[in-house]
Amino acid sequence: MRWLIRSVLALSLLVFLAVAAVFMIPSERIAALAAERFAEITGRRLVIEGAVRPSFFPTLGVQTGPVSVSNADWSGEGDMLRAEGLSISLDMAALMAGEVKITGIRAQAPQVILERARDGRENWVFGGRNDGSAEAGMAGEGTPFTLDMAEVSDGRFTYIDHGAGHRVTVSAVNGQARIPAFLGTADFTFDAILNGQPFEAALKIAEFAPFLQGRLGGVDLALTAGSADVRFAGRAGWKPLTAEGELAATLADLSAITRLAGVARPTLPQGLGAGRVEASGRVTLTDKLSVHLRGGALRLDDNRLTLDADLTTAGDRPKLSAQVSAGALSLAVAMGGQGGDIGGGARGGTQAAGWPTSTIDVSALGVMDASIALTADSLDLGVAKFGTTRVVTTIDRSRAVFDLRQIAAYQGTVSGQFVVNGRGGLSVGGDLVLAGLAMQPLLIDLGGYDRLIGNGDLRLKFLGVGNSIDAIMRSFSGSGSVSLGKGELRGLDLAGMLRTLDTGYVGAGQKTIFETVSASFVIDKGVLTNNDMVFKAPYVTASGNGAVNLGARTLDYRLRPVALAAVDGSGGVMVPLLITGTWANPKFRLDLEALARERFEEQAKELEARAKAEAAAAEARARVELARKAEQELGIVRQNGESLEDAARRRAQEAIDAEAGRLLERLLGGGN
């Protein structure tokens, strides 16, 4: 700001010289004297082209042709200031009383370049190593002044930071400034174009003199760009840049604001600011460029939230920390679509042709890192709905982890973690525990399936990769288990179907009441496989195994009764039931071929057992006959409990012993 004041004071010299010109000095000499004095003060060359036209009545003033002010000697950007014309007028009576009262300043098509060199030098700083006699506290620098009106038309202002590599140009600037009291209020209004985006701004300063020095003071700022409107009322200063006060911002779809900031507009999904962003609250901007919001209110499309937040900009990436509360929060579209586009939920249903193939854009996860604690009365994710929700979300380099602290859902609870990873593509995963959930409303939302009634528990670990719901469902891998208590299966009388061998027990009014259902499963490449399902009902107990293709939305499952009794207690038969086809149109078929195969296998086993029994009986009879003949021909008499073999060995041993005795007697001479 001081460079502007010093320039104005130097140019004011032109007015005094113009007074003398009225009486005795040619206008060319006036321009030369003004340029010499300006160069002495600022160290810059002032060039006034054309004649200098003074005025004496009703105000003391001067009007010039094209004017230029040279830049710092280290700059290569051309003149620091160039204007097609310049005029300035003073209140003669006030000037004679020792008061500087500027009644008007007008600059036509000014072009101003402000630069900061790599070594920190600034081209708007005059004096010292930048040449010129300007210095802090120089005569006239602190002189109070007033300004009735300053006007700029078709201006262009460029700021260049060579060290940071930044260049910002504001063009088509048309504005007015009023400073009615040096120690009082000041008003600035202007419109311009920045980064191709037109905008209007109005600034009211409560105390001009302190603000001129960069000190914190009262300000009221209004900014309008396209459909965006920003209002700030509080205190602000520019040395260093700090602010604190009440903010109210209506940012529409962020297009205008992001263009002004020179950044790409993030592609936000519906529910997270796709079409409407509004914010209000008490904001503090520190000298470290961190932003703090207290008592904030945020509207993202139709979602309304209250929050306290802190945004820091130090480091490689911005970091947001926030405590957020919401009433009914809808993220249905953000999670993959709404209405029929969901394809698998209540609004798409099992009748949908397939899962949505539209690309899921999670680029918003890369805008900044974050740690957000959310509490909501309800949460709609499109494919599922929840009641009271407490979730802590951590975003780190495009990877979001949702820590589910408390979620009321479908008469039960959900806990665990859910991950959305946007690094180099999209993947989703989780480790979830669902306890006491009402299955019918859950399955209606997840797959449009309304036939299963009952409460159950579910454990699920999963991972899916792809840029659409269809790709994710076809890539799913994981494992889990499910357990249901008492309930019913609508549209299918399983006991009646198996008892009568009639598949007509399907349709409206039919149902199967069950006591428990339990199963575990694994998921690979989008196909869920189960081999241990147990189904217990009053008139049928069954086991099941098969596959559910999550990606293709098809079934291939086999349900086999392990016990069956008719309603009248007369007993029944066991007939496997095959469930195949699509989710939209499942087919039920009794597996009579399997039943015949099982009966054949049973008969074969019976025949094999009978043959083995008959063979064993024949062998026993043969042994008896052999023993009888041996006794007759060999003189073997079996003792009680003695087998034929044992009797034969005993009889042989007796013969050997007798012969050995006779030989011994001969040797001893006891016989002939």
Q: pLDDT value at position 219?
A: 96
Phi, then psi, of 227 in degrees rounded to 5: -90, 0
- Collapsing DSSP states into helix, strand and coil, what is residue 478? strand
Q: How far is CA 643 from CA 636, 637, 638, 657, in A?
A: 11, 10, 7, 21
Q: Is the pTM of this model over 0.85?
A: no
Report the distance separating Cα 236 and Cα 224, nearest Å: 19
Question: How far is CA 203 from its chain centroid?
Answer: 36
Span between the terminal Cα atoms of the chain, in Å: 156
Instruction: Work out the average pLDDT over 263-288.
Output: 89
**Per-residue buried b or exposed e for 199-236, using 16+ beta carbons within 10 Å of the residue's own CB:** bebbbbbebbbebbeeebbbbbbbbbbbebbbbbebbb
- Residue whose pair of structure tokens reads 């000014």 in the numeric block: 110
For residue 503, is pLDDT > 80? no
Q: pLDDT value at position 187?
A: 96
Q: pLDDT tens-digit profile of 352-411?
A: 667 888 888 888 888 899 999 999 999 888 777 889 999 999 999 999 999 999 899 889
298 by Cβ neighbours in 10 Å (0-12 / 13-18 / 19+) ranks as buried
Report the distance separating Cα 497 and Cα 504, nearest Å: 7
Where are the chain's structural domains? 1-182, 343-475, 636-672
Q: pLDDT tens-digit profile of 398-407?
A: 999 999 998 9
Q: pLDDT tens-digit profile of 188-204?
A: 999 999 999 999 999 99
Angle, helix 592-634 to helix 644-667, in steps of 10 degrees: 30
Q: pLDDT tens-digit profile of 134-166?
A: 455 544 455 677 888 889 999 999 999 999 888
Q: pLDDT value at position 616?
A: 78
Q: pLDDT value at position 539?
A: 75
- Collapsing DSSP states into helix, strand and coil, what is residue 314? coil
Q: How far is CA 582 from CA 193, 510, 512, 549, 551, in A?
A: 58, 20, 21, 9, 11
Question: How far is CA 620 from its chain centroid?
Answer: 81
Amino acid at 97: A
Q: Which residue, 185, 224, 219, is CA-closest to 201?
A: 224
Report the distance separating Cα 589 and Cα 569, nearest Å: 25
> What is the per-residue DSSP string for 122-188?
BTT--SGGG-SS--TT-TTTT--EEEEEEEEEEEEEEEEETTTTEEEEEEEEEEEEEES-TTS-EEE
- Collapsing DSSP states into helix, strand and coil, what is residue 279? strand
Q: Which residues pair with 278 in a beta bridge?
A: 250, 299
Report the distance separating Cα 622 and Cα 208, nearest Å: 129
10 Å Cβ neighbour count for 361? 15
For residue 22, is pLDDT > 50? no
- In angstroms and rounded to an integer, the radius of gyration of the C-alpha atoms of the chain is 48
Range in 48-57, 261-270, 314-323, 659-668 the model is least confident about: 659-668
10 Å Cβ neighbour count for 532? 12
Amino acid at 18: A
> Is 588:577 a contact under the CB 8 Å cutoff?
yes
> Is 473:499 a contact under the CB 8 Å cutoff?
no
Range in 109-118, 242-251, 270-279 the model is least confident about: 270-279
- Collapsing DSSP states into helix, strand and coil, what is residue 312? strand
